[in-house]
């Protein structure tokens, strides 16, 4: 009996000895076949699979079991960009066309910078000061440089200053025609220069039309994020948008008034949330139809690159923006 058990054990060991290489070979072959099929699939669908892989392995990475963000704004988006990567971290109705109020003035400023010398003197007209809104405190006949007017446009969101910049575009035609030509260039820049397919302008200010049936300036969160990304190279725009205050001087270097930004996150007393120290700049917008709108750009945490954030159609643009950025910081690994 003992001898039979010993023989069975020896046979088992011998069989196992011969089968192990076969089992290993089968597993290796299976692994190699998987690799072959994987790379064959990549060769057939390289763009799709590469995009999926990038979303999976490129930081920032979304933590598992992270709760989705809910915001009451009509639309919003948060995008991480650097020299090599563009990754959407959050979006809600990002392709929905909506009125954008004074976010318009990002394009107004860009078009003016491309069209004029910064030291060009501009006389403010009666038509300009008749634009809706009190900010800017301009009077007909006052003279400012283009640079001065850009500060008014981007910091105080002055409709008077925006109109004044558009009004000098075509000096040989009427004021209304000149503004129309300037707006046409804004639309050219949107479509042909920046490739924005869902953005259009009818004025340089962002004001709602008197007749609700008339056209108004519109865009989408996705387009505004793309516009902002393209404007990151425009140093003057972000130099201005990073300021909380600026002393404006008019003719003969006479002090006019102190500009204060409409961007509450740049308030020097605002120490919370902590990411406010990373703000590059931002632009606000509000009209009765558009409600609160906000673009805010930050340096990305722990690495190079930027966070571009857009909120449209909100009754609490700063509260919703804070909620959005806090969520991005919380649920992504940087």
The pLDDT of residue 133: 78
| Residue 24 confidence (pLDDT) above 60 | no
Q: In this structure, are strands 332-333 and 61-62 parallel, antiparallel, or unpaired?
A: antiparallel
The CA-based angle 34-37-42, given to 5 degrees, is 125
| Residue 309 confidence (pLDDT) above 80 | yes
The pLDDT of residue 265: 95
The pLDDT of residue 120: 97
- Long-range contacts from 55-59, C-beta under 8 angstroms, 24+ separation: 55/87, 58/85, 58/87, 59/303, 59/333, 59/334
CA distance 306 to 286: 25
Mean pLDDT of the chain: 86
Local confidence band at 47 (pLDDT 50, 70, 90 cut-offs): low
| Residue 27 confidence (pLDDT) above 80 | no
Tokens standing for 330? 């919380």
Q: Which sign does the torsion angle of CA 327, 329, 330, 333 carry?
A: positive
What are φ and ψ of residue 250, in 5° steps? Answer: -100, -140
Tokens standing for 307? 């966070």
| Residue 5 confidence (pLDDT) above 50 | no
In this structure, of 60-64, 106-110, 283-287, 288-292, the range with the lowest mean pLDDT score is 60-64
Q: Among 110, 326, 113, 319, which residue's Cα sits nearest to residue 224?
A: 110
Local confidence band at 321 (pLDDT 50, 70, 90 cut-offs): very high
Mean pLDDT along residues 224-253: 96
Q: Please, what is the angle between helix 159-167 and helix 104-115, to 10°? A: 40
In this structure, of 51-60, 100-109, 219-228, 235-244, the range with the lowest mean pLDDT score is 51-60
The structural domains of the chain, ordered by start, are: 63-333 (3.40.710.10)
| Residue 303 confidence (pLDDT) above 80 | no
Q: Among 68, 112, 109, which residue's Cα sits nearest to residue 91?
A: 68
Mean pLDDT along residues 266-285: 85
The pLDDT of residue 2: 46
């Amino acid at each position: 009996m003992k001898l039979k058990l010993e023989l069975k054990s020896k046979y088992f060991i011998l069989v196992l000895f011969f089968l192990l290489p076969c089992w290993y070979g089968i597993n290796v072959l299976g692994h190699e076949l998987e690799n072959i099929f994987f790379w064959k699939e990549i060769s057939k669908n390289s763009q799709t699979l590469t995009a999926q892989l990038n979303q999976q392995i490129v930081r920032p990475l979304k933590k598992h079991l992270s709760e989705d963000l809910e915001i009451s704004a009509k639309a919003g988006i948060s995008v991480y960009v650097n020299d090599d990567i563009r990754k959407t971290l959050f979006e809600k109705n990002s392709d929905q066309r909506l009125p954008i109020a004074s976010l318009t003035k990002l394009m107004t400023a860009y078009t003016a910078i491309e069209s004029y010398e910064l030291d060009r003197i501009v006389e403010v007209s009666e038509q300009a000061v008749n634009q809706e809104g009190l900010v800017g405190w301009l009077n007909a006949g006052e003279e400012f440089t283009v640079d001065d007017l850009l500060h008014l446009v981007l910091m105080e969101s002055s409709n008077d200053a925006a109109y004044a910049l558009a009004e000098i575009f075509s000096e040989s035609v009427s004021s209304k025609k000149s503004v129309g030509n300037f707006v046409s260039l804004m639309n050219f820049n949107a479509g042909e220069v920046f490739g924005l397919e869902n953005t259009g302008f009818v004025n340089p200010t962002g004001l709602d039309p008197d007749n609700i049936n008339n056209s108004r300036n519109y865009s989408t969160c996705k387009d505004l994020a793309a516009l902002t990304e393209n404007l990151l190279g425009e140093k003057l725009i972000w130099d201005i948008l990073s300021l909380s205050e600026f002393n404006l001087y008019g003719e003969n270097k006479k002090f006019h008034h102190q500009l204060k930004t409409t961007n509450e996150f740049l308030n020097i007393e605002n120490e919370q949330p902590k990411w406010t120290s990373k703000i590059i700049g931002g632009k606000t917008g509000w009209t009765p139809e558009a409600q609160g709108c906000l673009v805010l750009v930050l340096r990305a945490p722990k690495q190079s690159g930027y966070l571009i954030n857009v909120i449209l159609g909100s009754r609490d643009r700063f509260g919703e923006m804070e909620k959005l950025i806090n969520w991005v910081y919380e649920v992504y690994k940087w």
